[in-house]
Structure 1
Amino acid sequence: MMVKVKKIKKIKTSKKVPKINGTLEKDEEKTPVSHRKQLQQIAEKDPEFFKFLQKEDADLLEFDDSDVEMGEDIDEEEEETAESLNIGNKTIFFEVDNDDRKVVNLQTAELIEKVLSSPSEYRRNLRAVVRLAVQSFHACVCRVGSNLEKGEYVVNEDRVFDSIVRSCLKYMGHCLLLLMNPLDEKQKESKNAKAKQGQPVFKYFHKYKTVTKEYLIALVEFLAEVGAEDISIAIIKSIVPLTDFYLHFQKICRRLIKNLVRVWSQKSMQERVGAFLALNRISQSDVDLYTFVYKSCYVAYVSSSRQVTTGAWQNLLFMQRSFAELTFVNPAVSYQYVFVYIRQYAIHLRNAKITKRKDVIRTVYNWQFVLGVYLWASVMIRSSKHRHISEAVDWIRELRYPLIQIVIGLINVFPTSRYIPLRLHCVRVLLQLQVNCNVYIPTLAITADLLDDLITIDLKKPNNVKVLQRTTRLKDVIRLNREMLEDSKYRSMIAEEVFSVFLEAAFVVRASLAFSGLIRPLIPVLKGFIKECNNIDHKKLFKALECKLKEHAEQSRLTLAAHKIDLNDANENYKLEEILSSNSTPIAKYYQDWHRTSEMKDQATKRIEQKSPFIEKNRKRKTRKTIH
């Protein structure tokens, strides 16, 4: 099957253009064999210059049979046009629009898809079709409103647009790899190829550098312009295997990183995952770009955490965990930034505690600071689970202690009842660190301090005026206004959250041999709260907790009395801790029942939030912004 591609001009006369797969004039033809003869002549006439070439550009002198075959297969003229592309007996005609640009039709799009999907069958024409496909893809990107300059081709039909975009995203990466021919480690050594550590080397990189660069730029612009989720996912999937090419173009790669970070911090979960995979791959290949990726991701996370909306926690959790993974791609480099950022948090906290001014306190009592603490807690948790032994990982792991001090200090900066939600967030962070980092933190005593604020809130009678609920979960706020504090529903939510954190703190230390000693000073605090609290429901809630704590403490005491305790015997102590951590203990049973009930309430809350008029109003407002 023969295919000829020509262009039709209504008035202008076409100039003679050499065929893409045709032959050049004999005096202009350069084959690998003739090139080898020229090098032999240089070696005979000027041996010193030949030695210089061997040292500085060994790739120029390395030839083997595969070079000759590849040259015969795909060696065409550098500046080629699609006026006489021959692949069989068919002829494809280009119409020319008023701007003298070639209009890509459906027949051309089908040809591109056919060749790109089976590159081994059309190897002699692969280079020409790849160039045609890249220029057509460039035209597609210009069509969606990109800042790219208009090229030689234009795409007008939707079917042609879809076909070209689909073919390029699906097959172009494989075709470019086939043309570039990546070298393995042995070939790199034999050719003395110079490249950064982790950066791939391609045999024919300089030959196809221009067309590859054009496609990579168009792909970055396409990602920046497209808003549809399915198309964005397809673009990111095609970018992941192309990261080896992007590494050779630092400026383009930085633009790509900016777009990927934007997707990672703002788009849907599936898009975020794809963007993270691409960022992770780039970070593993280039140390300089890793620094740029790491700082960009941190800035994007901080920017997106200015305000927490309903349903944002899942995305924030993904960002925290993926950022923690990025931290340990190169811990020796990331440690410098982790140390500086945590130190900045400590400085802001110190200033707030010293000055006590409202404007300074607001610099730490806000969502950005709280979610930043969550972020670094996830990094510390990841450091404790890191399998590889590394000095840099140990450096990062040691930073958990100043982080714990920052969180405890944040609780005590401005301890008022209005900021109970923020203080509860801090206790949750401490519990995460205590469980995953295997460190003891007095979370029980810290939580017990919140009972005084609960008493203060319950002193005033609740207001019967209904408050427009901006959220049905206390987790979505860090500060309560006066109306919320006076509303009976919010009071119940506060009491349940304090109770839940108190119970979880007790559950975390249930296996400790010193559980009875930990609980003993808290029992009078609970009794005092039950006595002074004016809310009957809150009294019942914490009375049940007091009973379970006493019951578990008694069981723990009896278990220890039945065994001989030797603090130097680690195995015996471990067995005792296993007995105390059993699911049949009073605290464990009570915690599981409460946890099950809380999950049912959360599911009901989500259904209520979907029907909430305030949330629906916000959703419509966001939709309008997206449309505009």
Structure 2
Amino acid sequence: MGKKAAKSTKKFAASGQLKKTIEARRKHQQIRQKVEGRKGQKNGKSKTRLEAREEKDSDQDVENEPTTKSTKRMTVDDFLSGNFMQGSDDDAEDLENIGSDEESADDDGMDSDDGSFASVDDLETEGELHLHELSKLAEKDPEFFKYLQENDQELLQFNPDAPIDAAASDDEEMEDAEDVVVKGDRLPVLTKAHLQRWQKALLEQRSLRALRKMLIAFRSASHMNEEGQVLAWSIDSSSVYNKLVTTALMYTPVVLEHHIPYKTLANGKFKQPTQTQKFKTLQKLVLSYLNNIIHILLQLTDNEMLRLALSGSAKLIPYIMSSRKAVKQYLKKCLELWSTGDDSVRITAFLSIQKLASSPDESVMDTILKSTYLTLMRSSKSTNAHTLPLINLMKNSASELFCVDHSTAYQHAFGYIRQLAVHLRNSMKIKTKEAYKQVYNWQYVHCIDFWCIVLGKACDVQTEAQASKQSALRPLIYPLIQVCLGSIKLVPNSRSYPFHLQIIRSLLHLTRHTRTYVPLSPYLVPILTSTLLSSRPKSSTLRPLDFDVQIRVPQQYTKTRVYTEGLTEEATFLLAEWLSSVPVHGSIAFPEIVIPVVVALRKSIKSSAKAGTNKDQSLVKILLERIDDSVRWLEQRRKDVSFAPGKMDVVKDWERSLISKLGDAPLNKYLKVQTKIREKRRNLVDKARDGEDEILED
């Protein structure tokens, strides 16, 4: 009779882990048989070699099994028949560790052939070559072809008529399989020879077997020097590491595109590959690979490698859409790089998010829009001269996502604009310093500006004309304008003028693109009159205030000459921009619209003979002269008008012809000159800030 087994051994069998181990071993033997069978058919060799190798494998499997003195000589049948023996407590701990390890592997999406993904080899086509695809690679994937020309030129030098040495290929397969066997505590060292062999198989044969090996090696690269990780390869050279990462990122999408292609629809969205057994098998490999890419993104510091990892992973998106967890993890990492990386990395991360947004799944689009907006808000808490360009990049790129599907974006835009209105209403009711801070902060300013950019892009007149319909977002223009004007009127003191100018800039952007008339003169003219009528400002040695990065004037700048002159210059420019906009200057009633502006400014100039500064007065006088010139220019064209104001259709036709000639108006010419002067000054300041040798002149 057999001896009784230990409780730990019995527990191992009852948990089902023994059955998994046996099935995994049988799968491994079946794969060996297939390889040897193909090799025997091609080379005409006898079965004795296969049988000898099977005997050798079985001997090795027995040797590699975790055995004890009491179970060493038992067969599988004896083990399953009951009558187990008792063993030591150490055995119980070892078996429990095995179970926990396998459970953690299952959590990572890997089962018994888990780490090796051996089932992928069953999909391999026998000796199939794809050299005809290689010849068309320049047209099909120019980016990958360019990479091969620069890095692996020898792989492009192939002979389509040359026979394939299948036996050599199988020998390499067996050698690689034997290399992965761990001998003691030492792992096989990955070399460039391995990579070149895999590259050749991937490029010429689209080999799934080579793809599996390469991605297993990629996992070893992504989890290097980490405790508790079971790795298949040791990588000792940085050049091999870089070559492996680059090869995996460049070659994997090409192979997947061949075996499980997806379609790109006419609207720019993609259609996922057909749910075949081949796709289901490869999807496990792809999900594991994507998880390793996300992990390696945490380690990479080189911007070039980060861009390569992001662009390479974006090509995997059609294959991972069925895994919601993978999509969320990937989106989270892309948003992190989009909000914190270098400019080039931010753009590449956004392109990856944009690829994710081209999914036909509406729930994915909802998640992307919400996560993108929240990331933008968190990144805009603090604004200075260095962070402003990055925040503007984020706002412009995020607006592209909200303009993909206007109907889906409407729900988010409505909710977030309403949120801004609620903050404004609370501040108007409570009227405390803390309540005002809910509105007078950088997050509020950037949110206002972001929605002006989104609506300006979605409701652009030319875009709607091409689509022959109005955007679904157009109804949100009016409530957004009301929120903007309400926030300007909340605190009308002089220290808050920079905040007012920020909101007015956003409204001008919205006006310029949607051609919506917004009465901004009541908010700009008081700024100019206050500077003209104020007591003579005191001189100071403070440097000029940058109104682009200010929402509240520092206390030391109040009533100083440098602040007054800068405020007058900024308000004058914005007023000129508003007056020259299409809704104002393109109206047949332009001479009547500007009357209140001209009267108020001239009255202020007359009253400021002993106040203000000469520079303030000269800036306003020049603007008034250009306004008068534009009024005469428009009145000259109104002389030939023979229709009454009530005929709106005829009026609109006349205004359309006027809009095409606005570039010749004196006010528009003045604005172009002022814009060039401001851009030149801005470039000089940026260069000086970056430490370049530039002389700043007044």
- Corresponding residue for residue 226 of structure 1: 300
Cα offset for 1:25? 9.6
In the TM superposition, what whole-angstrom CA distance separates every residue of 1:417-441 from its partner, at most 9, and x where no partner exists? 1111110111111111212112111
Cα offset for 1:231? 0.5
Matched, 1:434 2:507: no
Aligned with residue 106 of structure 1, among 174, 189, 192: 192
Aligned with residue 133 of structure 1, among 214, 237, 244: 214
- Corresponding residue for residue 352 of structure 1: 427
Task: Supply the distance in 2 between the matched residues of 1:184 and 1:474 (Cα, whole angstroms).
Answer: 46
Matched, 1:168 2:253: no
- Corresponding residue for residue 475 of structure 1: 548
Task: Supply the distance in 2 between the matched residues of 1:94 and 1:332 (Cα, whole angstroms).
Answer: 56
Pairwise mapping of residues 184-583 of structure 1 onto structure 2 (< 5 A)? 198-203=271-276, 204-285=278-359, 286-385=361-460, 386-387=463-464, 394-455=471-532, 458-459=534-535, 461-464=537-540, 466-467=541-542, 469=543, 473-508=546-581, 509-530=584-605, 531-532=607-608, 533-567=611-645, 568=647, 570=649, 573-575=652-654, 578-579=657-658, 581-583=661-663
Task: Supply the distance in 1 between the matched residues of 2:219 and 2:228 (Cα, whole angstroms).
Answer: 8
**RMSD of Structure 2 on Structure 1 (CA):** 3.3
**Residue range with higher mean Cα deviation, 226-235 or 583-592:** 583-592
Task: Supply the distance in 1 between the matched residues of 2:257 and 2:173 (Cα, whole angstroms).
Answer: 28
In the TM superposition, what whole-angstrom CA distance separates every residue of 1:292-339 from its partner, at most 9, and x where no partner exists? 111110011001111122144443333223322212333333222111
Query: Taking structure 1 as reference, are residues 477 and 557 closer, same or farther at Cα in structure 2, changes over 3 Å only?
Result: same
- Unmatched 5+ residue regions in structure 1? 1-14, 27-68, 76-83, 121-125, 186-195, 614-628
- Corresponding residue for residue 155 of structure 1: 235
Query: Taking structure 1 as reference, are residues 19 and 214 closer, same or farther at Cα in structure 2, changes over 3 Å only?
Result: same
Q: Which amino acid aligns with 2:303?
A: E
Task: Supply the distance in 1 between the matched residues of 2:510 and 2:590 (Cα, whole angstroms).
Answer: 19
Query: Taking structure 1 as reference, are residues 512 and 180 closer, same or farther at Cα in structure 2, changes over 3 Å only?
Result: closer
Task: Supply the distance in 1 between the matched residues of 2:626 and 2:403 (Cα, whole angstroms).
Answer: 42
Which secondary structure state, in structure 2, belongs to the residue aligned with residue 103 of structure 1? coil
In the TM superposition, what whole-angstrom CA distance separates every residue of 1:364-410 from its partner, at most 9, and x where no partner exists? 1011000000111111112213558699x744210110000000011
Query: Taking structure 1 as reference, are residues 565 and 19 closer, same or farther at Cα in structure 2, changes over 3 Å only?
Result: same
Cα offset for 1:220? 1.6
* Structure (1 or 2) with the larger CA radius of gyration: 2
Query: Taking structure 1 as reference, are residues 24 and 139 closer, same or farther at Cα in structure 2, changes over 3 Å only?
Result: closer
TM-score (norm 2): 0.69
Cα offset for 1:168? 0.5
Q: Which amino acid aligns with 1:425?
A: Q
TM-score (norm 1): 0.77
| Contact kept? 1:349, 1:409, Cα under 8 Å | yes
Task: Supply the distance in 2 between the matched residues of 1:424 and 1:184 (Cα, whole angstroms).
Answer: 45
In the TM superposition, what whole-angstrom CA distance separates every residue of 1:253-284 from its partner, at most 9, and x where no partner exists? 11000011112222223222222222222222
Query: Taking structure 1 as reference, are residues 527 and 181 closer, same or farther at Cα in structure 2, changes over 3 Å only?
Result: closer
Query: Taking structure 1 as reference, are residues 612 and 423 closer, same or farther at Cα in structure 2, changes over 3 Å only?
Result: farther
Matched, 1:600 2:661: no
Which secondary structure state, in structure 1, belongs to the residue aligned with residue 170 of structure 2? strand
Pairwise mapping of residues 11-26 of structure 1 onto structure 2 (< 5 A)? 18=29, 22-23=33-34
Cα offset for 1:493? 1.9
Q: Which amino acid aligns with 1:461?
A: P
- Corresponding residue for residue 56 of structure 1: none
Task: Supply the distance in 1 between the matched residues of 2:228 and 2:551 (Cα, whole angstroms).
Answer: 45
Query: Taking structure 1 as reference, are residues 576 and 128 closer, same or farther at Cα in structure 2, changes over 3 Å only?
Result: closer
| Contact kept? 1:374, 1:429, Cα under 8 Å | yes
Cα offset for 1:489? 3.0
Which secondary structure state, in structure 2, belongs to the residue aligned with residue 421 of structure 1? helix
- Unmatched 5+ residue regions in structure 2? 1-24, 38-121, 129-167, 694-698
Q: Which amino acid aligns with 2:653?
A: Y
| Contact kept? 1:104, 1:155, Cα under 8 Å | yes
Task: Supply the distance in 2 between the matched residues of 1:346 and 1:239 (Cα, whole angstroms).
Answer: 40
In the TM superposition, what whole-angstrom CA distance separates every residue of 1:529-570 from its partner, at most 9, and x where no partner exists? 223242111011101111221222233223213322344264
Cα offset for 1:496? 1.1
Cα offset for 1:181? 5.3
Cα offset for 1:353? 1.2
Query: Taking structure 1 as reference, are residues 328 and 595 closer, same or farther at Cα in structure 2, changes over 3 Å only?
Result: closer
Question: Quick one: percent identity of the two aligned structures?
Answer: 20
Cα offset for 1:612? 9.9
Task: Supply the distance in 2 between the matched residues of 1:149 and 1:261 (Cα, whole angstroms).
Answer: 28
Q: Which amino acid aligns with 2:488?
A: I
| Contact kept? 2:525, 2:600, Cα under 8 Å | yes
Task: Supply the distance in 2 between the matched residues of 1:23 and 1:592 (Cα, whole angstroms).
Answer: 75
Q: Which amino acid aligns with 2:629?
A: E
Q: Which amino acid aligns with 2:453?
A: S
In the TM superposition, what whole-angstrom CA distance separates every residue of 1:180-229 from its partner, at most 9, and x where no partner exists? 455899xxxxxxxxxx9943325311222332222111112122332221
